[in-house]
């Protein structure tokens, strides 16, 4: 779980940087995808314990 967090946050940074040059609706879509990814990481971590 902890090893995957930096990658997830770097992806979020890329999404934020890309959304600055794109429209706002793209940012909301990307942010929702990022939240889903965090939930998947959390469930995966619970499954490994």
Ranges of each domain in the chain: 5-48
For residue 9, the number of C-alpha atoms closer than 13 Å in the C-beta half-sphere is 6
pLDDT of residue 42: 84
Tens-digit pLDDT string for the chain (49 aa): 556 677 777 877 777 676 666 666 777 787 888 889 888 888 888 887 6
pLDDT of residue 7: 77
Q: How far apart are the first and last CA of the chain?
A: 11
Q: Is 4 helix (H, G, I), strand (E, B) or coil?
A: coil
32-41 in b/e form (b: 16+ CB < 10 A) is eebeeeeeeb
């Amino acid at each position: 779980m902890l090893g995957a967090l930096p990658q997830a946050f770097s992806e979020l940074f890329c999404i934020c940087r890309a959304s600055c040059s794109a429209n706002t609706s793209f940012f909301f879509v990307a942010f929702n995808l990022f939240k889903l990814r965090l939930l998947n990481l959390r469930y995966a971590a619970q499954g490994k314990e």
